[in-house]
Amino acid sequence: MSKSLKRVADALRAADVESQIVEMAEGTRTAEDAARAARCGVDQIAKSIIFRAEATGDAVLFITAGGNQVDTAKASALAGEALGKADADLIRAQTGFAIGGVAPVGHLIPIRAWFDRRLLDFDLVYAAAGTPRHVFGIAPQRLLELSGAILADFTR
């Protein structure tokens, strides 16, 4: 088991979340890929979108439904500073995950996060489990709590 996958499994276990991490043969690099592999709707995929906060240089996280896109202006207003593209090095350094496998939990460093209301429309959502090939299912309200994210409107 990779370090990233283990960190997610440990975070779920520590929070008493009963969720099976599943390896997807097809891969889960995109929300559409993950939805096909998990046999669910694309909006049931909880995407972890990372931006770079321009003033602080920190990574910030927006957990959004798979079919939604983050509106950068709305996201910047929530963060209280301009947001830019996060590069792979920043993402890896602050979350411990590679692009395509960023989980909403189990980060190396605590991260400011916001949560898309659309995800609450479902009984179950699926999120990356630390690799591009692994996902876990979880009740969205529980994911909101576990991630420490703030419920907000930030999509187009």
The 3 state secondary structure assigned to the chain is CCHHHHHHHHHHHHCCCCCCEEECCCCCCCHHHHHHHHCCCHHHEEEEEEEEECCCCCEEEEEEECCCCECHHHHHHHHCCCEEECCHHHHHHHHCCCCCCCCCCCCCCCCEEEEEHHHHHCCCEEEECCCCCEEEEECHHHHHHHHCCEEECCEC
Per-residue model confidence as pLDDT tens digits over 96-113: 999 989 999 999 999 999
Please report the pLDDT score of residue 33 as a whole number: 83
Kindly state which CATH superfamily the domain 3-152 is placed in: YbaK/aminoacyl-tRNA synthetase-associated domain (3.90.960.10)
Average pLDDT over residues 15-27: 86
Tell me the pTM: 0.95
Please report the pLDDT score of residue 122 as a whole number: 98
Pairing of strands 45-53, 59-65: antiparallel
Residues 130 and 44: their CA atoms lie apart, in Å, by 18
Backbone angles phi, psi at 98, to 5 degrees: -90, 155
CB atoms within 10 A of CB 57: 11
Residue 55 predicted with pLDDT over 90: yes
Return the closest-CA partner of residue 46 out of 124, 151, 152, 154.
124
86 neighbors 123 (Cβ within 8 angstroms): no
155 neighbors 74 (Cβ within 8 angstroms): yes
Domain ranges (residues) in the chain: 3-152
Please report the pLDDT score of residue 18 as a whole number: 87
Residues 9 and 21: their CA atoms lie apart, in Å, by 7
Please report the pLDDT score of residue 86 as a whole number: 97
Average pLDDT over residues 69-91: 97
Return mean pLDDT, the chain.
94
Structure tokens, 4: 């990233």
Residue 57 predicted with pLDDT over 80: yes
Band of residue 76 on the pLDDT scale cut at 50, 70, 90: very high
Please report the pLDDT score of residue 1 as a whole number: 80
Per-residue model confidence as pLDDT tens digits over 27-52: 677 888 889 888 999 999 999 999 99
Percentage of the chain beyond pLDDT 70 is 98
